[in-house]
Amino acid sequence: MRFPFFTPKSPFLLGIGLLACLAASRADNKPVSSSPAEIDRMIVAEVKDKSAVEANLTHLCDVIGARMTGSANLKKANDWTAERLKAYGLENVRLEPWEIPAGWERGVCRMRLVEPANGREIHAASRAWTTGTKGKVTGPVVAINAAKAEDLKAYQGKLKDAIILPGKPAEIIPVSELGKPRDKKSAPGRPRPGIQSGLALRAQVLELAQKEGAACVLADSAKPHGLLNMTGSWKGADRATATEPVPSVFVTHDHYAMLHRLATREGPPPRVEVEISNKLIPGPVTVYNTVGEIRGASKPDEFVVVGAHLDSWDLGQGATDNGTGTTVVLEAARVLGALAKKGIRPARTIRFVLFTGEEQGLFGSKEYVKRHKDEMARTSMALVHDTGTGRVTEIPLQGFDDAKPVLERELGILKELGVAVVQGTQGGTDHLSFAAEGVPGFAFHQDPAEYYLTHHTQSDTLDKARWPDLAQGAQVMTVTAMRVANLPELLPRKQSKPAAPPPAKPAAPPAKAAQVRLSSSS
């Protein structure tokens, strides 16, 4: 990606170099006077010329790998990101622990079609925090056709060892149409590859399946081209109630549709052999948010939070959900840490937070808000990057519309980066925990860049990364954080009722907080 104000022999670049030299010459680390516009340009140039996003995301994906909440890999990621923050010169770097009732490790999930006996293996993956089958089970495939709970009575006595299809196959949107609004009310940035049926009665179906002794309940992945899907969370506040009572399994859309066709044809039902084994890790299990900060020069007890979630699902590498956001936050920390070393510090403290437990219900950010409750009235903004690798296109205001003229006045450079401040919402990620406490919480709208196609799937891998777009995202996040941190006043906090955002992650009980502190390198 090229920017018109940077050319090989630009006088502006010479000016940047002079400013950098003057700032670097300050051995006492006292504040250096630079105009807001000069700082904007320095930030953009630093990301453009010295970005660490590719190196960091490559390490996170290829060396650490997938980062399920409660897993050893996630703790490795916490430790590594803390070391990165310390290396970038951040202060007060620490891991803030909280607890989940039980951890979970994926085991085998094998399914094959027994009748008709055509040798077909069913592509499937256990839903997270689901139990197993205690060995191989063979049973009929039963398609549920129920519009309300009373309709389920027709299946009583018919579900022993059954493989249950709780609804019709998903309606799949062609890949060529992803990213395009389906009607005037659809937002171009929030495309979903499929619409899954059978969700309304899922709890009642699981209850009936347990009572009847069914083998498992299937879910259509609702994604094309053999892609799986993943979600799931602990169900209760303790180990005994953490897992679902009946194994729940995601099946690729093509195989779910095939089983549904076979189960609804005339004649005997198809039969499937299934074997599922997963491991529940006895709890409580401690997990962590990674936190570091650049202390404010004049208002250190007021805050700007920039964040992303560090946890991921485990079918792929967790590259675009949300390794990309994680490394954008790390890049913002690197750039602002470099400026701080030159004496260019924000007025307010900028805090960098990598949340965990987001995929299970925004738990890490909820725990952060709970732990830092006394700081919420002094937190000007929380800004989150969590929609994949695509370039940032908008900052939706989540109902904090009084902030629009303030941000538009301050963030003129965003026009050059192709970003607008807009009225609107973004759902399903950690800014919502802050907005719920009255803090202006924003999450970027981004170019879809296949995000809703590949996230939560085995195809969430490093090859999907778009490096110029991630550099642009880091520039937008860093400039915005610095500008808001330097405002004379906190951002306006009046919130009109925003339009209903897409559903957030499933809810679960809150967890207990504690704290572990790491030594700072600054």
The reply to whether omega before 284 is within 30° of 0 (cis) is yes
Phi, psi of 185 (to 5 degrees): -90, -10
pLDDT at residue 497 in the model: 72
pLDDT at residue 1 in the model: 40
d(C-alpha 35, C-alpha 281), whole Å = 53
Place of tokens 């906190």: 490
Topology of domain 104-281, CATH: Glucose Oxidase; domain 1 (3.50.30)
Average pLDDT by stretches of 10, the chain with 522 residues: 36 39 42 85 98 98 98 98 98 98 96 96 97 95 92 94 95 78 46 58 88 96 95 77 83 98 95 96 95 98 98 98 98 98 97 98 98 98 97 97 97 96 94 97 95 95 98 98 98 79 39 33 33
Bridging pattern class, strands 163-165 and 136-143: parallel
pLDDT at residue 189 in the model: 38
d(C-alpha 41, C-alpha 473), whole Å = 15
Bridging pattern class, strands 121-122 and 109-115: antiparallel
**CB 481 within 8 Å of CB 306:** yes
- pTM score, whole prediction: 0.87
pLDDT at residue 22 in the model: 37
**Strand, coil or helix: 172:** strand
pLDDT at residue 387 in the model: 95
Q: Which residues contact 181 (CB under 8 A, 6 or more apart)?
A: 187, 188
C-alpha dihedral sign at 361, 167, 321, 238: positive
Q: In degrees to the nearest 10, what's the CA dihedral of 320, 326, 328, 330?
A: -150
Closest CA to 467 of 45, 8, 48: 48
pLDDT at residue 183 in the model: 52
**CB 215 within 8 Å of CB 139:** yes
**Domain 30-101+284-517 is found in CATH 3.40.1360.10:** no
Common-topology check for domains 30-101+284-517 and 104-281? no
Q: How many Cα atoms are found within 13 Å in the side-chain-facing hemisphere of 415? A: 6
Domain parsing of the chain, residue ranges: 30-101+284-517, 104-281
